[in-house]
Amino acid sequence: MITYPLSSRNGRESFGPGGLVLTMAYVVTESCIKCKYTDCVDVCPVDCFREGPNMLVIDPEECIDCTLCVPECPVEAIFAEDDVPPAQRDWIPINAELSKAWKPIVERKPAPADADEWAKVKEKKQLLER
């Protein structure tokens, strides 16, 4: 007889009326670098955002796939894992890695003074501060 735990094993699955439900994490991509708007943090019901020196990431173990953060991001940096554009797919493992090292951010903070200028810059990966 095989038994399964009654709780989630990794934060990306839960039990619903039909049994085990796998959820997909959301991912913060390159557009967030140097903008670091925290509007998304305000709406997250599980505090899955982590704060780095110049961007935010999402902890895939905590994200519950609620989608609330997506429309809050003024630079459109947040995507469902399956919807991350091909050129940005390397941000999936980067979010997973950095979410282990960075501390949770649980309330909104003011954006950097030059965030609006950085929002117009498209290629910023080389500016990521770990």
What was the pLDDT predicted at 107?
Answer: 96
- Whole-number Å distance between alpha carbons of 53 and 5: 38
Take residue 95 and report the two structure tokens written for it. Answer: 């979010």
pTM reported for the whole predicted model: 0.84
Take residue 119 and report the two structure tokens written for it. Answer: 């929002």
At the second CATH level, the architecture of 24-120 is: 2-Layer Sandwich (3.30)
Kindly report the average pLDDT of the chain as a whole number.
Answer: 89
> How confident is the model over 7-60, as pLDDT tens digits?
443 445 555 566 655 568 999 999 999 999 999 999 999 999 999 999 999 999
Indicate the domain borders of the chain.
Answer: 24-120
Residue keyed to tokens 């997973």: 96
Report the chain's terminal Cα–Cα distance, integer Å: 46
